Amino acid sequence: MVRNNNASSSQNASSSQGADLSDPNNRLSEYFIHPNENPSASLVAKLLIGLSNYHIWARAMRRNLITKNKFRFVDGSNLVPDRFDPLYGAWERCNNLVNSWILSSVSPTIADSIDYMEYASDVWKDLRERFAQSDLVRISELQYEIFSHKQGNFSVIEYFTHLKTLWEELENYIPVPYCPCRTKCACPALRDIKSYRDEDYVIRFLQGLNDDYNALKSQILLKDNLPSLNKAFSMVVQHERQYGLEPENDNQVLVNYSNSRRGKGSYSGSSKSYNERYCTHCKKHGHTIEVCYQKHGLPPNLRFKTNSSANVVSQDGNQNESEDEITDATGTGKDEVPTFTKEEYKSLLALLHNSQSQGIHVANQFKTVSISALSESAESGKLLMFSKCSNEVLWILDFGATDHICCSLDLFSMRRKIAPIQVNLPNGSIVMVEYTGTVHISDTLTLDEVLYLPDFSYNLISLSKLMDTTKYEFRLANKKCFI
């Protein structure tokens, strides 16, 4: 009996509480104001500044006002009561509270333009009419940015997040249509439209990934039914983690290393540990199949560590030099070689052995640099070099290259079609070249017979060809390169 009485009392309390939702003291009433509500508080993280962020701002404001049970004061559904109505005082307090929240959530310039408006619904309508109009210029910018966005040096999570932000903003301007009929439509047209858009998102996400994900992209696209966007994202993130493709967070480094030597770095670890590692793919010692470049290709995030004896360049332009000395193109000079970490040394050594066994010249190129620098190895007579021209186009100097290579057609001042020739890429693949031409690097330096190779990531100057076919002299010095 006691339990039944309590249940009955609870039901009566709930009924009485829900019966009068116009009572300002009822917590379920939209007229109820919590004691902790602050009129000067901003309900959103970013203030409204105009067309560029109105849709994001409006969605955040709507979410917060619904949570506080005050959205009906801005959408116009809670009409103004008569001044002699007992509820008018409660309505006016809530209206002013919502109005204050809106003023605190917009930029000072916009706040000045709505400060004298009395009703929160009028303020909301005014902002919507001013900033919610379709902006064709912004739509075109979003579409261009979406279709030109590439992963590059971003992690998969960063790349996906930015892409999804662009999609959501575009959907605010071009939403998926909905059926306004009172009777539910059985036609699958609208469902198909949304399905097509979801498939477009998956394809666009996959196409913007780096080449390291080509195998996974093909695997996903060849499925009979494409996975959802989130499922595809999960698969790519797992692939990134499995093969260690996360980008480095430190300063980016580019190294152009000619591999005509049997890689001997400064690492002096045990030869026993080196020989214990064996690759079942290329049948060589020094590494395992998980890091075999012959099987997986060269990771774009591999880089050299800098110390006092390794001349490499970081983005901020700082570099460590061994000595101030001038050396010519013969490569004679002080015996200094780059030093690596233990794992990087083994990975690089595996690549050098593989490329030499195939008779292929490989230039290990990693990421972009900001200034010029060099390093020399007396054992090989080859140089590590970095070069950047004044026109913000990166050119890499290489003794081992047989021809000049340019990856951008815009840099050619003149070009002509030739009979297709084969060119070996650093990853061991072979591509066909059909165009050659002339490139003006500066007012005093012009390259002829430059091969156009769009599949290559960098522009390459062959120093051997430059000195054989021109009258240029080439000298190297600390922090300087003279041509």
Which has the closest alpha carbon to 399: 458, 328, 336?
A: 328
Q: For residues 443 and 97, what is the distance between their CA atoms, to the nearest angstrom? A: 67
Are 468 and 447 in contact by the 8 Å Cβ rule? The answer is: no
pLDDT of amino acid 65: 94
- Reading the block at residue 256, the tokens are 């152009």
pTM: 0.44
- Reading the block at residue 190, the tokens are 């609208």
pLDDT of amino acid 101: 94
Half-sphere exposure of 459 (CA within 13 A, CB side): 19
CB atoms within 10 A of CB 331: 16
**Residue 174 neighbours by CB under 8 Å, 6+ apart:** 139
Q: Write down the residue that tokens 């009906």 correspond to.
A: 72
- Would you give per-residue pLDDT tens digits along the chain (483 residues)? 444 445 444 444 444 444 577 787 888 888 888 888 888 888 998 899 988 788 889 989 999 999 999 999 999 888 888 888 888 999 999 999 999 999 999 999 999 999 999 999 999 999 999 988 767 888 888 899 999 999 988 899 999 999 998 998 888 888 888 777 777 777 788 888 889 999 999 999 999 999 989 999 999 999 888 999 999 999 999 999 988 887 755 434 333 433 433 344 444 444 444 455 677 777 777 777 767 766 666 555 454 444 433 333 333 443 343 333 333 433 444 444 445 566 666 666 666 555 444 444 434 333 333 333 333 333 333 433 334 444 457 788 777 778 888 888 888 888 888 888 888 776 667 788 888 888 888 777 888 889 888 877 778 888 878 877 776 776 665 556 666
pLDDT of amino acid 120: 93
- Reading the block at residue 56, the tokens are 């994001």
**Residue 343 neighbours by CB under 8 Å, 6+ apart:** none
Q: Give me the residues paired with residue 313 across strands.
A: 319
- Reading the block at residue 429, the tokens are 């693949």
Q: For residues 261 and 271, what is the distance between their CA atoms, to the nearest angstrom? A: 19
Bridging pattern class, strands 430-440 and 446-452: antiparallel
Q: Please name the helix (run of DSSP H) or strand (run of DSSP E) that holds residue 472, with its range, or none.
A: none
pLDDT of amino acid 157: 93
pLDDT of amino acid 351: 60
Are 385 and 398 in contact by the 8 Å Cβ rule? The answer is: yes
**Residue 330 neighbours by CB under 8 Å, 6+ apart:** 381
* Radius of gyration (C-alpha) of the chain in whole angstroms: 33
